[in-house]
Homo-oligomer: A and B are copies of this chain.
Amino acid sequence: MSEDINNLNFKLPEPTLRRLPWYLAYLKLLKDKGEEYVSSTQISKDINVDSSQIAKDLSFINISGKTRVGYEINSLVDVLESFLGFTRTHRAFILGAGSLGSALLHDDGLSQYGLQIVAAFDVNPNKIGKVINGIHVYDIKDLEQFRKDQNVSIGILTVPVDKAQNVADMAIKAGIEAIWNFTPFRIKVPHNIVVQNTSIYAHLAVMFNRLTFQ
């Protein structure tokens, strides 16, 4: 099955990629309840996504339902987990052991989704040498050497906004291939570097606005 997945040698549209984890979360619930099959109509009803959209999204990963019975839940869960990369281990550094960085160090859930945080880095002498939830905080000067020794590809950017570009540049120079940017700053990177922006504070603004004008 993983061979089939490796043959899917293309990038999925981002909206599809973002919906796949919703399907996975829902399907795992059904699996835990002992269900064997589910139709796209049923998925649609339970998670409020159009059923033709679901069928289209799943067809991207070569999954199609069987007439009348629908999708086989167990195999769909396996394919989705594998395709989404949750079954492999991706090694990452936390860049900035401040409030948000420390918060992420406390989230053991990330490892269940394939992200292993192996170390944190900071410039603050009061933070360097600390151990947060079992993860050591090192001097950011040692980033390049650590990265080489530990084969880490992902940097999780949790520095203050005014350091975001500078620390991203350092990480890329050190050999980091993907930056998970939790700052609200739009960093600029070479075209071969992956950037995933996750500004939870921007989501907060959307929610506040909806709450005010609801």
Contacts and interface: CB of A to CB of B under 8 A. Distances in A.
Contact of A106 (B85, B90, B102, B162): B102
Interface of A: 9-12, 14, 17-18, 20-22, 24-26, 28-29, 32, 46-49, 84-86, 88, 90, 98-100, 102-110, 113-115, 153-154, 161-162, 177-178, 180, 183-186, 188, 192, 194, 196, 198-214
A85 B184 contact: no
Chain copies in complex = 2
A207 B186 contact: no
A106 B113 contact: no
A21 B103 contact: no
A110 B204 contact: yes
Q: Interface centre among A12, A25, A90, A192, by most B CB within 10 Å?
A: A25
